[in-house]
Structure formats: structure tokens, C-alpha cells
């Protein structure tokens, strides 16, 4: 393991481009191969989520690479959710009781472009576009590619290969096809898919609804969400079952049925989406899945990072942040000067795997919360109490959401374990017939903390 090793990165998306930048800053020689065209010159966003939620864990990695401020310039802060009920009424729910804590809507393409440009400033980085990886010989670290333009097939021999090629990773596929080692792999899809629509800017180029919120239209079996863009528009995403329920992607095939669906279920959103029928019929339907696998590495030769190792559903807004945190953790392992790539890979995976499993599970939990629970009166009461505790005791109380989103020093696995126990304690409290929101907050905090600790102890005894 030395700075002269030829490092090959498969995939120049968000994770791959940040990894290339950070390795280059450390003095490594890096070649990156990407199947898509250069997004700085071609629009390739169709069918993919074009804006994402950037939060503290992501910013920590961007600061490490020196690009946090460039990213912040293209962010729109969102301070909470704005819930839209079926009658068009709205109510807001802040993400935190502390002042100025927010998540940030950011363009996937614009952020990726910043990272690519910064990486290319280093003479020890080369990035190749329109080169699709078809397979990887993991034993000999040879990656096989096909050029989209020339149709030429070629191979690249390297010392170590990083797979940051997303949920459909070719490197991960090579792990189980080559059968060189015991490799566990699961890919589980939701029964729901997603379709993207758009709320355009008004005639003056302004946002038509609040751009300080992430908007949610929860309907139990399905939901809409909307995130603001810099140009005054909103990217709207419909999450809907493929084939279950009165309305699903399989039966929404006519303009009449589509109109009926939105008129009855999302009347206020429908007024803001002028091209609803054309967009619905023409925009692709995407799948939502979770990938877990182990081990992520093979000897001292290859390793998976980002979605290639741990793709998750988008409902905690942590997919990009988790991938960026991979870079933070990997960089910290490199600081240990462990001497060889295999030891680095093993140490990194041991530190990281249980946390990426945790955020995958939390993202699935939040799917239920967003489409069902946010409009539940008991959930609302619990959330009001959480916000009051965070506001009154900003250094003593952190909700599960805050631990995941705003506390980059708390590992995902710890946030999940403590957050679930805390949620149970809070719900028990607000469901108590004697509970009053006007009770002394210090006493309420003490009750929540005591019951949380009891639940954690019970879980430990039960082996949970």
C-alpha cells in the first residue's frame, strides 16, 4: 500500500467523485470510469431524483474535502415538514426544537458537478465518461469496460479497485458470480415505486409554496413529497404501490383515472402541477429497494462503498449523507497508517457495517411514519413534546430524528437503538390519561430519560 498504487474507481456519482477528490488530496493516483456522459455538459437527470437532502453528516465529509461552502451556495434550507391533509389544510412540524437546525435541498447534478470539477483540478486524477463497466476480475484486479461511443471493449489493470457504482454495482455482482469467497447479499424491494413530477415556478420565477419546508401529502397507502429547487420549482415525488389498493401504478393508465386520483387525493397539489397528465404518463416509474451485503471487500484488492455496499430507501433523507459519511470513516482509517489495503478494508468495514445496516432499517421505519403517522393526533402530540424538550434543553435532549440528522458524532446504530427506546417512552407518556403538555418540562424530561433507560436495559437483557 503506497501512493504509487494505481487506484481504479468504478462510478463517478456523488460517492465516487468525492472519494476520488479525497484520495487525490491524500496523494494517491486515481482513475475514475463512469458509464454515463459528463453531467456537466449533458442533462442526464431524467427518471432520477434530481434534488436530495444534504445534512450534517454529508457536510462533515464535504468539509473534509474542502468543498462544503461551494455546496452550501446551492442549498435551500428546509426547517421542517409542511403536512397537507386531504382537505387542503396544512400544519408544520419542525425538524428540531433548536434554532437554525435544518436539512438542505440540493441539486444532485449540481453537487456532482462541483465534486467532479474539484477532483479534476488534481493532476493525479483522470475521469473517463461513457465507459460502462461490464465485469471485474476481482482476483487479478482487472476491470472490463465498453465504450458507449466507439463500442470498443477494453480492460484496465490496477492495484486496487473501489466500487462506487451504485445500487446496481457491477463490482458487487462480480463478487457473487466469481464465487471466490463467501459473500452474503440481499436486495429487498418495497411494494411501492416512485414517479417524479414538477411544481413550476410562478411567472416571476418564485416558489408557489413555502420553500422553507419539505412538503408531505400523507395518505396512508401512498404519499406525495416536494422539495424546492433553486429556480423556483419543486420536484414532486409520488410514492405509490405498483398493484395494490384502489389507486396504483398499474391502474393509473388513463388521463381520466389520473385526474380522478389527484382531484380526490391531492386537490391542492393538483392546482400547482399544470402538466400532471403528460408528466405522469411520460415520466418513468422507479423502484425502491434496500441492499445489504457482506463482506464489502475482497482481500487487499477490491472494496464497495456507498450505494454499492448499502443502498437504502430515501425516506430518512440519508442515502447521500450515508455515502458521504463512508468517505469520512474511510479517511479516518487511512489516518491510522495500518500498512496494507486489506487491513484498511477490514478495519473500515468493522467500523461501518452495523451503522449502514441501522440507517437502512431507520429509512424503512420513516416510510411508515411519513405516509401514515405524521397526521396521527398521538404522533403530533409526541412531536410537540419533543420539540419543547429540545428547545428547553438543547444540550440534554435529542430526538431520534435529530440524532440521525444533526448529530454527526452519534453513529447511526446508537441513534437507532436510543431513538427507538426514546420514542416508545414518549408515546407511553403522551398516551397516559394524566399527561398534560403544561406539566413541568424538567419533570417530563426526567420521566422520558428514566423510561428510556429502562427500555434500553430491557432490550439489552432480551438481546435486542
Percent of the chain with pLDDT over 70: 96
Q: Which of 340, 367, 394 is the last residue of a domain?
A: 367
Rounded Cα–Cα distance for residues 371 and 367 (Å) = 6
Same domain, 56 and 175: yes
Same domain, 401 and 339: no
Domain of 18, in residue numbers: 6-61+108-187+289-367
Which stretches does DSSP call E strand in 100-183? Answer: 103-107, 125-128, 131-137, 142-147, 153-157, 160-163
CATH for 120:
3.50.50.60
Residues 6+ apart with CB under 8 A from 20: 9, 12, 30, 32, 119, 125, 127
Q: What is the 3-state secondary structure (H, E, C) of 312-373?
A: CCCCCCCHHHHHHHHHHHHHHHHCCCCCCHHHHHHHHHHHHHHHHHHHHHHHHHHHHHHHCH
Same domain, 53 and 142: yes
Q: Which of 336, 367, 398 is the last residue of a domain?
A: 367
Rounded Cα–Cα distance for residues 207 and 369 (Å) = 27
Q: Which of 303, 338, 367 is the last residue of a domain?
A: 367
Rounded Cα–Cα distance for residues 84 and 86 (Å) = 7
The HSE-up count of residue 68 (CA atoms within 13 Å, CB side) is 14
- Strand partners for 161: 8, 302
3-class SS of residue 121: coil
**Residue written as grid cell 401514515:** 372
The pLDDT-based confidence of 459 (bands split at 50, 70, 90) is confident
- pLDDT value of residue 348: 98
Provide the number of structural domains found in the chain: 2
Same domain, 340 and 428: no
pLDDT (tens digit, 9 = 90+) per residue, 1-40?
A: 788 899 999 999 999 999 999 999 999 999 999 999 999 9
- pLDDT value of residue 311: 97
The pLDDT-based confidence of 433 (bands split at 50, 70, 90) is low
Same domain, 161 and 14: yes
Find out whether 312 and 363 touch, Cβ atoms under 8 Å: yes
pLDDT (tens digit, 9 = 90+) per residue, 275-286?
A: 999 999 999 999
Sheet with 213-218, strands from edge to edge, namely: 90-94, 80-84, 213-218, 223-228, 234-241, 184-199, 285-294
pLDDT (tens digit, 9 = 90+) per residue, 352-406?
A: 999 999 999 999 998 887 776 666 788 888 888 999 999 999 999 999 999 999 9
Rounded Cα–Cα distance for residues 239 and 196 (Å) = 9
Same domain, 129 and 172: yes
* Residue 395 resides in a domain: yes
Rounded Cα–Cα distance for residues 84 and 107 (Å) = 24
Helices (H) and strands (E) in the chain, counts: 15, 19
In this structure, what are the phi and psi dihedrals at residue 406, rounded to the nearest 5 degrees?
Answer: -115, -5
* Residue 437 resides in a domain: yes
Same domain, 328 and 417: no
* Residue 295 resides in a domain: yes
**Residue written as grid cell 399527561:** 435
Rounded Cα–Cα distance for residues 329 and 348 (Å) = 7
Assigned C-alpha cell, 298: 475482497
The pLDDT-based confidence of 136 (bands split at 50, 70, 90) is very high
- pLDDT value of residue 464: 65
Same domain, 336 and 391: no
Find out whether 161 and 141 touch, Cβ atoms under 8 Å: yes
- pLDDT value of residue 47: 44
pLDDT (tens digit, 9 = 90+) per residue, 230-287?
A: 999 999 999 999 999 999 999 999 999 999 999 999 999 999 999 999 999 999 999 9
Rounded Cα–Cα distance for residues 382 and 426 (Å) = 6
* Residue 242 resides in a domain: no
* Residue 258 resides in a domain: no
H or E, element range at 57: helix 56-64
Same domain, 356 and 436: no
Amino acid at each position: 500500500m503506497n501512493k504509487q498504487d494505481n487506484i481504479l474507481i468504478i462510478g463517478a456519482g456523488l460517492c465516487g467523485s468525492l472519494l476520488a477528490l479525497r484520495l487525490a488530496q491524500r496523494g494517491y493516483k486515481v482513475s475514475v470510469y463512469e458509464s454515463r456522459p459528463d453531467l456537466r455538459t449533458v442533462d442526464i437527470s431524467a427518471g432520477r431524483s434530481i434534488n436530495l437532502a444534504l445534512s450534517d453528516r454529508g457536510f462533515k465529509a464535504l468539509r473534509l474535502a474542502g468543498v462544503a461552502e461551494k455546496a452550501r451556495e446551492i442549498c435551500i434550507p428546509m426547517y421542517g415538514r409542511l403536512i397537507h391533509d386531504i382537505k387542503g389544510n396544512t400544519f408544520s412540524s419542525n425538524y428540531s426544537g433548536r434554532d437554525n437546525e435544518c436539512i438542505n435541498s440540493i441539486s444532485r447534478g449540481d453537487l456532482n458537478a462541483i465534486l467532479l470539477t474539484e477532483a479534476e483540478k488534481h493532476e493525479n486524477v483522470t475521469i473517463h465518461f461513457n465507459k460502462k463497466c461490464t465485469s471485474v476480475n476481482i482476483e487479478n484486479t482487472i476491470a472490463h469496460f465498453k465504450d458507449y461511443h466507439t463500442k470498443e471493449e477494453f480492460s484496465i489493470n490496477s492495484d486496487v479497485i473501489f466500487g462506487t457504482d451504485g445500487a446496481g454495482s457491477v463490482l458487487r455482482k462480480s463478487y457473487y458470480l466469481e464465487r471466490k469467497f463467501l459473500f452474503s447479499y440481499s436486495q429487498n424491494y418495497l411494494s411501492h415505486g416512485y414517479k417524479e413530477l414538477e411544481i413550476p415556478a410562478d411567472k416571476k420565477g418564485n416558489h408557489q409554496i413555502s420553500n422553507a419546508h419539505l412538503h408531505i401529502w400523507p395518505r396512508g397507502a401512498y404519499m406525495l413529497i416536494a422539495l424546492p429547487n433553486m429556480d423556483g420549482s419543486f420536484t414532486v415525488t409520488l410514492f405509490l404501490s405498483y398493484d395494490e389498493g384502489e389507486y396504483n401504478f398499474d391502474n393509473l393508465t388513463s388521463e381520466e383515472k389520473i385526474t380522478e386520483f389527484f382531484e380526490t387525493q391531492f386537490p391542492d397539489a393538483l392546482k400547482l402541477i399544470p402538466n400532471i397528465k403528460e408528466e405522469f404518463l411520460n415520466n418513468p416509474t422507479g423502484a425502491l429497494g434496500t441492499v445489504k451485503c457482506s463482506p464489502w471487500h475482497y482481500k487487499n484488492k477490491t472494496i464497495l462503498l456507498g450505494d454499492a455496499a448499502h443502498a437504502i430507501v430515501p425516506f430518512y433523507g440519508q442515502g447521500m449523507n450515508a455515502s458521504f459519511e463512508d468517505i469520512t470513516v474511510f479517511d479516518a482509517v487511512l489516518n491510522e497508517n495500518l500498512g496494507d489495503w486489506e487491513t484498511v478494508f477490514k478495519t473500515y468495514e468493522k467500523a461501518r457495517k452495523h451503522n449502514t445496516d441501522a440507517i437502512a432499517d431507520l429509512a424503512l421505519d420513516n416510510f411508515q411514519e411519513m405516509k401514515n403517522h405524521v397526521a396521527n393526533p398521538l404522533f403530533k402530540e409526541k412531536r410537540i413534546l419533543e420539540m419543547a424538550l429540545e428547545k428547553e434543553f438543547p444540550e440534554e435532549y435529542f430526538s431520534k430524528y435529530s440524532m440521525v440528522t444533526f448529530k454527526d458524532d452519534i453513529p447511526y446504530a446508537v441513534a437507532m437503538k436510543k431513538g427507538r427506546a426514546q420514542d416508545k417512552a414518549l408515546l407511553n407518556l403522551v398516551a397516559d390519561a394524566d399527561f398534560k403538555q403544561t406539566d413541568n418540562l424538567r419533570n417530563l424530561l426526567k420521566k422520558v430519560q428514566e423510561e428510556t433507560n429502562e427500555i434500553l436495559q430491557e432490550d439489552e437483557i432480551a438481546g435486542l
